[in-house]
């Protein structure tokens, strides 16, 4: 593994901070590296650098921006295994999943290398013979990108690549749990040849202090954030005073509905894919499994059996399906949800406890007979626990699925085309998996939520919009 530099990247230079903070392997509790601990002053320096670099970068031709992005993509792919190792060691996900994430991350860079060349404007017919209406799309300006620990690589590139493609300059602040992957990605961006100040990296163990600078400095024109709904709301408020553009990818509480006509084996595999990936730590992970009462018993048996085969362990060990949770707090929350459900009448089909005496492991768990009174029915668990609820009618389950402040992802399995149509239109969610447990794998599709799950979309052509202003020019002659 290349040892990551514990420095900040500001204006094309790697500079030290007065302090560093340790990075912990959640599978062992061991320190696997350290990162520079930026304060408000260093964050301000990064804002200054990004602001100074913006005029030239915004005027760089689209093919040039595209070429640099393409080079960055190639470098990430060349170093894929090394980055994935870093990712597993600081975050815990199994190595094959980490490799998958690095490819996914690289593909955002490739996509936006291509998309950079396709930022088109419009000419609009005028009402008057001596006037012409032109619509330009221009970069919004300096972007602050604040990313979470659950996808240490993909959330960086899903934000930074479209920002750079649009002609924006960026200050990246990765999560304090997982800065090593971000540092490596930025090292490779530097190697790709982006000019000084175009990408800046600020790692910190004081996100509130640095975040305040990034969300209040008037030179930052756009904040793009993925993380908890609580922090998202705070950043939204902080950014309001200077009317920054803001994209928010926040929490979810995804329903997964299994109708009586579904292919049950496919649905079981679907729950496994959407619930246990990343140890249940994704914002689109299934939180509530609704099963039609006529098939509930069969489905519960099949799911319980399949989940009991999932292996928990260190992400670098072969054959492991589920790594550790990110920290003790995350583990305690999962444990609390399971205890609360069991006290309120749920039954355990498999799992239910911590595993091992080192690291933050929790067994792959299935709870039967879940009810709406349980914490797990409304709070995001962010862990490998699937609660099974039963339902009787389509209208009832649709209403129950929508009865949440969240609106990120929803899944359903059925073979009835009429029901597919009604459900996909009726669910108040930004991402629908119709017989598909993995809709987020598509880099070209719009990813984002309704309601309190967020604002704006990432991915595909939609992801570029968030970094562009629309300028209307009226020319009279």
Nearer to ligand ADP, 44 or 234 (CB): 234
Which residue number, 68 or 172, has a Cβ lying nearer to ligand ADP? 172
Comparison of 163 and 346: residue with beta carbon closer to ligand ADP: 163
Minimum separation from the CB atom of position 225 to ligand ADP (A): 7
Which of 69, 57, 54, 56 has the alpha carbon at shortest distance from 115?
69
Q: Please, are residues 94 and 320 in contact by the beta-carbon 8 Å criterion?
A: yes
How near is the Cβ of 283 to ligand ADP at its closest, in Å?
Answer: 9
Reduce the secondary structure of the chain to three states and give it as a string: CCCCCCCEEECCEEECCCCEEEEECCCCCCEEEEEECCCHHHHHHHHHHHHHHHHHHHHCCHHHHHHHHHHHHHHHHHCHHHHHHHHHHHHCCCHHHHHHHHHHHHHHHHHHHHHHHHCCCEEECCCCCCEEEEEEEEECCEEEEECCCCCCCHHHHHHHHHHHHHCCEEEEECCCCCHHHHHHHHHHHHHHCCCCCCEEECCCCCHHHHHHHHHHCCCEEEEEEECCHHHHHHHHHHHHCCCCEEEEECCCCEEEEECCCCCHHHHHHHHHHHHHHHHHCCCCCEEEEEEEHHHHHHHHHHHHHHHHCCCECCCCCCCCCECCCCCHHHHHHHHHHHHHHHHCCCEEEECCCEECCCCCEECCEEEECCCCCCHHHCCCCCCCEEEEEEECCHHHHHHHHHCCCCCCEEEEECCCHHHHHHHHHHCCCCEEEECCCCHHHCCCCCECCCHHHEECCECHHHHHHCCEEEEEEEEEC
- Crossing angle for the helix pair 207-216 and 40-59, nearest 10 degrees? 40
Q: Given the complex with ligand ADP, which of 160 and 267 has the nearer CB atom?
A: 160
Residue 406 phi, psi (nearest 5): -85, 165
* Distance in Å, CB of 248 to ligand ADP, minimum: 10
- Chain residues in the site for ligand ADP (CB under 6 A): 146-148, 173, 175-176, 207-208, 211, 227-228, 231, 234-235
- Give whichever of 212 and 369 is closer to ligand ADP, judged by the CB atom: 212
Q: How far is the CB of 56 from ligand ADP (least distance, A)?
A: 28
Provide the minimum distance between the beta carbon of 353 and ligand ADP in the complex, in angstroms, as a whole number.
23
Q: Which is nearer to ligand ADP, 211 or 463 (CB)?
A: 211
Give 38 or 106: the residue with its C-beta nearer to ligand ADP.
38
Instruction: Give the residue numbers marked as catalytic.
Output: 249, 283
Nearest to 2 by CA among 201, 185, 194: 185
In whole angstroms, how close is the CB of 228 to ligand ADP at the nearest point?
3
| In the complex, minimum distance from the CB of residue 251 to ligand ADP, in angstroms, rounded to a whole number | 8
Nearer to ligand ADP, 21 or 450 (CB): 21
Least Å distance, CB 424 to ligand ADP, is: 28
The tokens describing 376, both together, are: 């797990």
Closest residue by beta carbon to ligand ADP: 211
């Amino acid at each position: 593994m290349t040892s990551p530099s514990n420095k900040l990247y500001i204006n094309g230079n790697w500079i030290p901070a007065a302090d560093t903070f340790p990075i912990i392997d959640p599978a062992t509790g061991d320190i696997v590296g350290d990162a520079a601990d930026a304060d408000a002053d260093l964050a301000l320096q990064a804002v200054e650098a990004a602001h100074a670099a913006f005029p030239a970068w915004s005027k760089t031709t689209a093919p040039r921006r595209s070429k640099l992005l393409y080079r960055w993509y190639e470098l990430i792919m060349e170093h894929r295994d090394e980055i994935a190792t870093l990712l597993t060691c600081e975050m815990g996900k199994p190595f094959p999943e980490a490799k998958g994430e690095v490819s996914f991350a690289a593909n955002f860079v490739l996509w936006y290398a291509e998309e950079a060349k396709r930022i088109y404007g419009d000419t609009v017919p005028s009402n008057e013979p001596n006037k012409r209406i032109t619509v330009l799309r221009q970069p919004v300006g300096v972007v602050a990108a604040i990313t979470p620990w659950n996808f240490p690589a993909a959330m960086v590139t899903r934000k930074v690549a479209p920002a750079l493609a649009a002609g924006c300059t960026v200050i990246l602040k990765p999560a304090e749990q997982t800065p090593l992957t971000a540092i490596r990605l930025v090292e490779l961006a530097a190697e790709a040849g982006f000019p000084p100040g175009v990408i800046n990296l600020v790692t910190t163990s004081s996100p509130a202090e640095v975040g305040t600078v990034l969300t209040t400095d008037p030179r930052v024109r756009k904040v793009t954030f993925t993380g908890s709904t609580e922090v998202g709301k705070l950043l939204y408020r902080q950014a309001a005073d200077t009317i920054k553009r803001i994209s928010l990818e926040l929490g979810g509480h995804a329903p997964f509905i299994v109708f009586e006509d579904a292919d049950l084996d496919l649905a079981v595999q679907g729950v496994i894919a959407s619930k246990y990936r990343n140890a249940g730590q994704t914002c689109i992970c299934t939180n509530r499994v609704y099963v039609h009462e006529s098939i509930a018993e069969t489905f519960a048996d099949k799911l319980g059996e399949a989940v009991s085969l999932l292996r928990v362990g260190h992400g670098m060990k072969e054959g492991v399906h589920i790594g550790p949770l990110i920290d003790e707090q995350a583990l305690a929350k999962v444990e609390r949800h399971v205890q609360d459900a069991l006290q309120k009448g749920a039954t355990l089909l498999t799992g239910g406890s911590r595993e091992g005496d080192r690291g933050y492991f929790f067994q792959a768990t299935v709870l039967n007979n879940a009810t709406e009174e349980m914490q797990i029915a409304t709070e995001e668990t962010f862990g490998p626990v699937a609660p099974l609820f039963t339902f009787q009618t389509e209208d009832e389950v649709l209403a129950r699925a929508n009865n949440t402040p969240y609106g990120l992802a929803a899944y359903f399995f059925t073979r009835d085309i009429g029901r597919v149509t009604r459900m996909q239109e009726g669910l108040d969610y930004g991402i629908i998996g119709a017989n598909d447990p993995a809709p987020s794998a598509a880099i070209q599709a719009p990813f984002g939520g309704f309601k309190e799950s967020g604002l704006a979309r990432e991915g595909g052509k939609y992801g570029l919009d968030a970094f562009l202003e629309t300028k209307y020019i009226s020319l009279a002659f």
